[in-house]
Structure 1
Amino acid sequence: MSLKVFILAGEPSGDRLGGALMAGLKELRRDVAFDGIGGDLMEAQGLASRFPMQELSVMGLAEVLPKYRHLKRRIRETAEAVIAQQPDVLITIDSPDFSLRVASMVKAGSNIRTVHYVAPSVWAWRPKRAVKMAKSIDQVLALLPFEPPLMEAAGMDCDFVGHPVVSEPLATAAEIDSFRAQFDLGQAPLLLALPGSRRSEVTRLGPIFGEALQAFQHFHPEHRVVVPCAAPVTDLVRAQAEEWPEDTLFLDPKAYEAEDFAAIKRAAFAASDLALAASGTVSLELAAAATPMVIAYRFQWLTWQIMKRMALIDTVTLVNLVSETRVVPECLGPDCEAEMIAHELDALAKAPELQKAAMAVTMQRLGLGGEAPGLRAARAVLNRL
């Protein structure tokens, strides 16, 4: 009998995880058959998506409300399809508002085994989410090494399978040289600036980053600022150019084929001597490239007040958490001001080596040098069936 897997993802990051997991399952079991919802990468592994994954890729209350009835109908349709198919396992990937509602309905109507890929960040806030999740999820595939005990304490099986950042390609020395030549950068030290990928982030952070970088460059005029723009916000970042240092190099993804821009971005990360970045998983991309960083983020006032009261951790940067250090400086909330950011960048420029060891430990703990995360995830699913 073939192994029947119903798998679903709701956004591009989940599609990447799903594609790698499906490839791993196909490597370990030639008789595997897939059904479900996914994007291009999952479809490339043989999934015929029941509807376009983009229907689920909505974020924020304002975006969700107009589509609430449609999303609710898709949740019900998907759960009914799972129960009708009776697969050996249902694998839901991230997108908890969709995934966990589907899993809950499936559990209420069957005894199908459920696996959720990407543990909720209960170590950061709202720890009771794990207990609620355990009512409908049998197994969790965790990206971070300290997550399994937290999931197991709530009553679920949990396997650390490695973070996908460890399997991403890194720029070669030749690619770095080519990048410098292509953009006439010579041997100038480079400062990478990453103000976010969402319009709300860039609107809040762009002017602050620009002012901070101008202040830093006043004392370090030898540094060139490089900004690999995210496609959804390229025009917005460029519109803020007057507030940024004059010789800032803005890299526009719309000017290149996707693979070419990905290579340029990798080279920019690897070629840079230090970075200023918005808070998020980009800190792990910088760690993979061994690029020391300052993390900054300006929250909405209400969000910041809630976070201060509910947060269970004293840092938001994954490098600090995974390495169990606090070497990456953070300018968050009211501290996200140009003067303070420039001060932290100045200190980093004078002693960048302080972060190197922590970044190396982070990559090692996330699975660098071991089996690819997608294959580890596949093995974890099969081992517990």
Structure 2
Amino acid sequence: MKLFVIAGEASGDKLGGALMAGLAQLAPGIEWQGIGGPDMAEQGLQSRFDMAELSVMGVMEVLPKYRHLKRRIAQTAQAVIEMRPDALITIDSPDFCLRVARLAREKLPDLKVIHYVAPSVWAWRPGRATKMAQVVDHVLALLPFEPPFMQAAGMSCDFVGHPVVAEPRASKAEAAAFRETHMIGADQPLALCLPGSRAGEVKRLGKRFDEALMQLRDREPGLRVVLPTVHGVAPMVREMSARWPIAPIVVEHSADKRAAFAAADIALAASGTVSLELAANRVPMVIAYDANFLTWHLIWHLMKIDTVTLVNLVSDTRAIPEFLGPDCKPRMISRKMLEVLEQDGARNEQMAAMEETMARLGEGGEAPGLRAARSVLEFLNKG
């Protein structure tokens, strides 16, 4: 079997790596081509170019790179055409992936296209599902309420669970060792600072997150900060955070990040899947996000929901506080973080929402990567 797979950012690379591992278990001997990161490379993919080239978002962020991205789309579509795979599997990054699929289908009209991660049509731009159905046959959904939206648009769709429920977590001993290694006392408050996995997000949110944490330390003098990061932005993060008044402990390796999550008392995080990682580790959190002025206002006017935090959406609560757009201000953020640290009621409400979220996402069941692989094979066998 020949499969061409594309992921455009760190979260997609994780999904792709787990899917490839699942397929290797169920259908050994697959020939892989495509684009991905380190997780997919571990499963045998030689990426055609650095996945970080695709990790851009927002109108103003994409415009300067438009010509380069357009060229990469054409090159990738041509590679799909030359390979003539049994299926093209695209993972998230729809602006890039679906353009590749459309171009490839012009030459290979019978090409089967599977998209991993349903577009959030329940949140904004519901017409995306109908547009996607023009080039996508089957969807692998991460959230349990998504399949009906995809099926209504004409695609088959399976809820395969969210990969966060199967990710390894550090033990209490590893968390204690992390604190000891970095000379963090057992009673010292430890905060995670998570300003995003894209360079644009880190640049935009980093200073505000640092200011919020400085204000929190005024009330909690012993506060220590850990900044987990990803390979694509790690050099920039280290250079930027070295100039912060509160220099965080920057960790990049998976084991260190797992230990930091297990050791943390609270997190300040950008909106995104990281809220589910925090929920899996039962870390109380405050979510904050902002974008370029034009990008933010375009998105805000199209929103159909009153929260962007996945823990709130999956648990059907509003337990996780958010500071978005104009409300993404350090003073407001630090006050809420202090409340979460000091008030049992606020923490307990979050803990209950996180427990419900993990249960609904499949915690304790079959690994999502294996479920996704099974869905792919069942879809291909139907054809």
TM-score range, shorter chain: 0.7 to 0.9
Q: How far is the alpha carbon of 1:373 from its aligned partner?
A: 1.6
Matches within 5 A, 1:33-48: 33-48=31-46
Q: Distance in 1 between matches of 2:6 and 2:289?
A: 31
- Map residues 5-24 of structure 1 onto 2, 5 A cutoff: 5-24=3-22
Q: Give me the whole-angstrom Cα distance separating, in 2, the residues matched to 1:62 and 1:301.
A: 9
Instruction: Specify every segment of 5 or more residues in structure 2 that has no aligned partner in the other structure, as ranges.
Output: none
Report the CA distance shift for 1:326/1:62 in structure 2 as closer, same or farther (over 3 A): closer
Q: Distance in 1 between matches of 2:226 and 2:220?
A: 17
- SS of residue in 2 equivalent to 1:252: strand
Corresponding residue to 1:52 among 44, 49, 52: 49
Larger Rg over CA atoms: 1
Over the matched positions of the two proteins, sequence identity in percent amounts to: 57
Kindly state the Cα deviation for residue 101 of structure 1 after the two structures are TM-superposed.
1.3
> Which residue identity does 1:37 align to in structure 2?
I
Question: Kindly tell me: are residues 55 and 311 of structure 1, through their superposed partners in 2, closer, same or farther at Cα, counting changes over 3 Å?
Answer: closer
1:162 aligns to what SS in structure 2? coil
CA change 1:340–1:139 in 2 (3 A) is same
Q: CA deviation at 1:8?
A: 2.5
In 2, distance between residues paired with 1:342 and 1:202? 18
SS in 2 for 1:13: helix
Paired residue for 1:373, among 354, 368, 372?
A: 368
Mapped partners of 1:238, 1:32: distance in 2: 44
Are 2:317 and 1:322 aligned? no
Aligned-pair distance for 1:84?
4.4
Query: Equivalences for 1:321-340 in 2 at 5 Å?
Result: 321-340=313-332
8 Å contact kept, 2:7–2:13: yes
Paired with 1:233 and 1:270, the residues of 2 have a C-alpha distance of 22
Letter in 2 for 1:156: M
- Counterpart-to-counterpart distance in 2, 1:55 and 1:225: 30
Q: Is the 8 A contact 2:56 2:200 kept in 1?
A: no
TM-score, scaled relative to structure 2: 0.87
- State the TM-score, normalized to the length of structure 1: 0.87
CA distance in 1, matches of 2:210, 2:320: 20
Mapped to 1, the partners of 2:73 and 2:293 lie a distance apart of 33
Kept after mapping to 1: 8 A contact 2:166/2:363:
yes
Equivalent runs, 1:27-38 vs 2, <5 Å: 27-38=25-36
Cα 1:23–1:191 shift into 2, 3 Å = closer
Structure 2 SS opposite 1:150: helix
Is 1:91 equivalent to 2:89 in the alignment? yes
Tell me, yes or no, if the aligned pair for 2:54 and 2:96 is still in contact at 8 Å.
no
Secondary structure at the residue paired with 1:239?
Answer: coil
Counterpart of 1:157 in structure 2 is 156
C-alpha distance in 2 between matches for 1:330 and 1:36: 36
Which residue among 280, 288, 296 is the counterpart of 1:288? 280
Q: CA deviation at 1:376?
A: 0.8
| Separation in structure 1 between the aligned mates of residue 64 and residue 336 of structure 2, nearest angstrom | 42
TM alignment of 1:206-355, pairs within 5 A: 206-221=206-221, 223-230=222-229, 231=234, 232-241=236-245, 244=246, 250-253=248-251, 261-349=253-341, 350-351=343-344, 352-355=347-350
